[in-house]
Structure 1
Amino acid sequence: MQITPVIAIHLAAALAAVAIGPVALWARQGATQRPRLHRAAGYAWVTLMVATAVSAIFITGGPGPRWAGFGLIHLLVPVTLGMLVMAFVYLARRNIVGHRKTMQQVYIGACVVAGGFTLLPDRYLGHSVWSALGVI
C-alpha cells in the first residue's frame, strides 16, 4: 500500500486534529479563559475531524476482516460524526457540561485511541514509522 491522495488528506487532517484538539479543549479551562480561541480552535478541530472521518470512508485495505471493503475501524466514522452532532446539539440546548464531555470523549476516542491503533506494526502508518526507526 502506498500513500494515495485520500490517505494523505486523512493523515494530514488527523495529525492536525491531534495537535489542535488540546487548544480547543483547554482554552476555556483555568483562571484565564479564552472564548475566542476556544471557538476558533473548536471549529477548526471539528472541520478537521469531519475531514478525517469522511476521508476514512474512501480508504480500504489493510489487515483484518472486511465487509464490502470496510474493516472494524470504519465503525468509528458514524460514531465520530454522530458524537460531533450531539456535541452541537448540547451546545444549542446550552448544556455546556454535555458539550464539554462529548468533545473530550471524541478527542480521546478518535484522536488518542484510534491514533494509537494506527501505530500498530501491521498498519500502514505504524509499519512506516517503526521501519523508519529501525525497530522492525
Structure 2
Amino acid sequence: MNFDIFVGAAIAIQIHIIVAFIAVIAGALQLVLKKGTTHHRVIGWFWVLLMTAVSVSSFLIHELRVWGAWSPIHLLSVFTLCILGVGIWAARNGRVKTHAITMAATYVFALILTGALTLLPGRMMHHMLLG
C-alpha cells in the first residue's frame, strides 16, 4: 500500500475516499442488523448523509474526463442522490420492500461495484492499494 498517494491527493479526493469507506462499513451494518429498530433508523440516516457526501464530493473530482470536466461517474452521483430520495420516500410511506430493494441496490451498485472499478489499472486507488 502506498498512502503517499492518498496524502498527496486533493482534499476533495481524500474526503471522498474516507467518506466512501465509512459508508461501506455503515451500509454493511445496515444489511446485517435487525430492521425497523431505532439503531436501523439512526445508522440509516447516517448512511444517507454519508452517501450524499460521497455523491456531492464527486462533483469536485475531475480526474476522469469524458465530457469536458465530467464523466459517467458524475451521472452515477446524480442518480444516487435521486435514488436515495426514493428510498427515503419509500420508508416514510410504509413501502418497506421498495425501501429495502432501493437502499440495498444503492449500496451494491453505487458503493461496492463503483468502488471495485476504482481498482482498475491506471486508477488512483489501484496505484495506492495494489500498485
TM-score by length of 1: 0.85
Matches within 5 A, 1:9-24: 9-24=15-30
AA matched with 2:106? V
Q: Which structure 1 residue ranges, 5 or more long, are not aligned?
A: 132-136
From 61, 64, 72, the equivalent of 2:63 is: 61
Give the match for residue 124 of structure 1. Answer: 124
Q: What's the CA shift string for 1:81-121, capped at 9, x where partnerless?
A: 01100001111211011001000000000111001001112
Superposition deviation, residue 26 in structure 1 = 2.5
Matches within 5 A, 1:66-81: 66-81=66-81
More helix by share: 2
* Structure 1 Cα separation of the partners of residues 72 and 127 of structure 2: 19
Q: Which runs of 4+ in 1 moved over 3 A?
A: none
Q: Is the 8 A contact 1:27 1:35 kept in 2?
A: no
Superposition deviation, residue 41 in structure 1 = 1.0
Superposition deviation, residue 125 in structure 1 = 1.1
Q: Which one scores higher on RCO, CA 8 angstroms, separation ≥ 6?
A: 2
From 20, 25, 41, the equivalent of 2:43 is: 41
Give the match for residue 96 of structure 2. Answer: 96
Q: Is the 8 A contact 1:66 1:72 kept in 2?
A: yes
Equivalenced residue count is 125
- Pairwise CA RMSD of aligned residues? 1.6
TM-score by length of 2: 0.88
